[in-house]
């Protein structure tokens, strides 16, 4: 969608806010479908993965064949959102159910980090397909890949029964343990703010580069697609490094440092749109280095602090955080562009990126408070044991 958003803005005469909704409508369904993920506490997450790939096949094929305006496109994006909800975070549960306890955080961070690879290549592939065969062809490819994914999951992913906690079984949607744990609360709030930033940037980077290209004639459409792909692709090693640093030094610590650096770079990017080329490139590069560095660490940390038999609940809450942030991010960014004067006004880009920076700093604060309160709670328990 990121690669084709400028095309849809033009052919369907969308405002920036409407373009944000087209980008985010997938995640509206994600928010609604998240509670279903809680069933991974009772059933093998493999079943959710299979259902998700089928929803994706229908959503992408329908978009390719039938979308002809904002609302029909939104309808098929909603189906894609359900598919995403049933595949992305349930994939974390499927992996953590199949690895040893001491490797769950690392496994989750590696899995989440791989997301950057597919999203990066999807930008250039979708753009090139649209240039050669029309934009509808760009949605045929994910239809085929999701059908292939269904076969891979069905044939090669072994069945695994969900882990069961000792003691009485909690109600399926009882999240009291997670909300009462300050560390988990910190990860959930931080994940929401991180995803607001990430999805806003992913959704609007190509549009920003198209606007900037008017100043630099050598920046043609193919070059823009390559640049956008590279910017997303560098997120994968950064996310894996962040996850590995979290595994060794503490996931909350690694996440807070990465988010603080990302907020600093993010706040400056928009105001460099009309600045020197070297400064704009440097800031965009630094921001994309840091924007995904905390992704693996956040999900790895949530998997690590989750109590035995409650990883399904933790995954559900993190999925809701991701969904909420994904829904808000692109719409908020488009709205701030409209408030600031439109996408051709340099001040609007500065305002939009500064808004994202403020959101990320809220996440940093939540992580810091979660760490402090979590350590305080642990000390109280230890004192009670020895008291």
Query: Does residue 108 have a pLDDT over 80?
Result: no
Sign of the torsion formed by the C-alpha atoms of 22, 329, 252 and 248: positive
CA-derived radius of gyration, the chain: 21
Non-local CB neighbours of 345 within 8 Å, separated by 6+ positions: none
Give pLDDT, residue 180.
78
List pLDDT tens digits, range 48-90. Answer: 899 999 999 999 999 999 999 999 999 999 999 899 888 887 8
Give pLDDT, residue 379.
45
In a domain, 11, yes or no: yes
Q: Per-residue confidence at 165, pLDDT binned at 50, 70, 90?
A: low
List pLDDT tens digits, range 284-310. Answer: 888 988 887 877 778 778 877 877 666
Q: Per-residue confidence at 377, pLDDT binned at 50, 70, 90?
A: very low
Average pLDDT over residues 358-380: 78
In a domain, 163, yes or no: no
Domain count, the chain: 1
Continuous segment of H or E residues that includes residue 207: helix 182-212
Answer for the pair 275, 84: CB distance below 8 angstroms, yes or no: no
* CATH assignment at residue 341: 1.20.1250.20
Q: 223 vs 134, 189, 213, 226, 313, CA distance in Å?
A: 18, 36, 10, 5, 43
Locate 373 and state its tokens: 């309160």
Query: Does residue 162 have a pLDDT over 70?
Result: no
Whole-model pTM?
Answer: 0.72
How far apart are the C-alpha atoms of 348 and 124, rounded to whole Å? 26
In a domain, 299, yes or no: yes
Neighbours of 302 (CB within 10 A): 28
In a domain, 168, yes or no: no
Residue 74: domain span:
5-158+174-386
In a domain, 351, yes or no: yes
Non-local CB neighbours of 252 within 8 Å, separated by 6+ positions: 183, 186, 187, 246, 301, 367, 370, 371
How far apart are the C-alpha atoms of 203 and 71, rounded to whole Å? 18
Q: Per-residue confidence at 166, pLDDT binned at 50, 70, 90?
A: low
In a domain, 166, yes or no: no
Give pLDDT, residue 12.
92
Give pLDDT, residue 322.
83
Locate 81 and state its tokens: 């959102």
DSSP 282-315: HHHHHHHHHHTTTHHHHHHHHHHHSPTT-HHHHH
In a domain, 167, yes or no: no
In a domain, 103, yes or no: yes
How far apart are the C-alpha atoms of 323 and 42, rounded to whole Å? 22
How far apart are the C-alpha atoms of 291 and 24, rounded to whole Å? 19
């Amino acid at each position: 969608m990121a690669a084709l958003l400028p095309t849809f803005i033009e052919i369907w005469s969308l405002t920036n806010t409407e373009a944000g909704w087209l980008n985010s409508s997938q995640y509206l369904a994600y928010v609604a479908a998240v509670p279903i993920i809680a069933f991974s506490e009772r059933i093998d997450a493999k079943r959710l993965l299979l259902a998700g790939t089928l929803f994706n096949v229908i959503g992408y094929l329908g978009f390719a064949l039938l979308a002809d305006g904002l609302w029909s496109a939104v309808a098929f994006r909603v189906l894609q959102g359900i598919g995403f909800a049933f595949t992305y975070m349930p994939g974390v549960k499927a992996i953590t159910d199949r690895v040893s306890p001491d490797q769950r955080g690392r496994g989750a961070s590696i899995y989440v980090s791989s997301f950057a690879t597919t999203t990066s290549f999807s930008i250039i592939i979708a753009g090139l397909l649209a240039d050669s065969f029309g934009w509808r062809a760009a949605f045929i490819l994910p239809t085929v890949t999701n059908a292939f994914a269904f076969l891979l999951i069905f044939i090669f992913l072994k069945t695994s029964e969900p882990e069961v906690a000792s003691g009485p079984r909690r109600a399926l949607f009882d999240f009291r343990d997670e909300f009462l744990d300050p560390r988990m609360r910190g990860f959930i709030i931080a994940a929401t703010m991180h995803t607001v930033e990430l999805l806003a940037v992913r959704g609007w980077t190509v549009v920003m580069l198209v606007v900037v290209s008017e100043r630099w004639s050598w920046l043609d459409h193919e070059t823009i697609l390559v640049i956008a792909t590279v910017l997303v692709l560098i997120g994968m090693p950064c996310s894996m490094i962040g996850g590995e640093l979290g595994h060794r030094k503490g996931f909350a610590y690694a996440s807070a440092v990465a988010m603080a650096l990302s907020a600093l770079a993010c706040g400056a990017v928009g105001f460099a749109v009309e600045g020197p080329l070297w400064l704009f490139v440097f800031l965009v590069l630094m921001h994309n280095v840091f924007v995904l560095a905390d992704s693996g660490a956040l999900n790895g940390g949530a998997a690590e602090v989750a109590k035995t038999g409650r990883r399904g609940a933790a995954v559900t809450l993190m999925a809701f955080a991701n969904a909420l942030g994904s829904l808000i991010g692109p719409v908020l960014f488009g709205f701030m562009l409209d408030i600031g004067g439109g996408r051709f006004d340099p001040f609007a880009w500065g305002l939009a990126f500064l808004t994202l920076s403020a959101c990320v700093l809220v996440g940093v604060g939540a992580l810091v408070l979660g760490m402090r309160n979590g350590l305080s709670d642990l000390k109280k328990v230890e004192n009670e044991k020895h008291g």
